[in-house]
Amino acid sequence: MIVTVFRSRLKDDARADYFDLAPQMSALARTMPGYRSHKVFMAEDGERVIIVEFEDEASQRNWSLNALHVDAKKQGRANFYAEYTVQVCEVLRESRFKTGPADGS
């Protein structure tokens, strides 16, 4: 699995335009072959973190090179972001835990 960690800070005057485009990019990502999930988190200091999971590197690369996504990234650099960092990581190991129902069944 490939995980992309996208950390960013928006320009104060760009929030409305960003929040118009972001749902479109989320919907597009869900249609991409190999897409697994994505979640958005907001820190108290205003930093946004988006974590995106794809099955493999080829799927992540196809998302990165998708024409609509490329255009959105250009808009982001020109209009939305004060700063950002992208990290593309390969998952080496994964473990999971989930508690059962309270009655033990």
- The pLDDT tens digits of the residues spanning 8-33 come to 999 999 888 899 999 999 999 999 99
> Which residues constitute the domain of residue 75?
2-90
Tell me if 60 is assigned to some domain.
yes
Tell me if 51 is assigned to some domain.
yes
- The pLDDT tens digits of the residues spanning 41-60 come to 999 999 999 999 999 999 99
User: pTM for the whole thing?
Assistant: 0.86
Q: Which long-range contacts (CB under 8 A, 24 or more apart) does 93-99 make?
A: 94/1
How many domains are contained in the chain? Answer: 1
Q: Given this model, what pLDDT does residue 4 score?
A: 97
Tell me if 100 is assigned to some domain.
no
Tell me if 31 is assigned to some domain.
yes
Dist. CA 39–CA 45, nearest whole Å: 18
Tell me if 26 is assigned to some domain.
yes
Tell me if 30 is assigned to some domain.
yes
Tell me if 44 is assigned to some domain.
yes
Q: Return the CATH number at 55.
A: 3.30.70.100
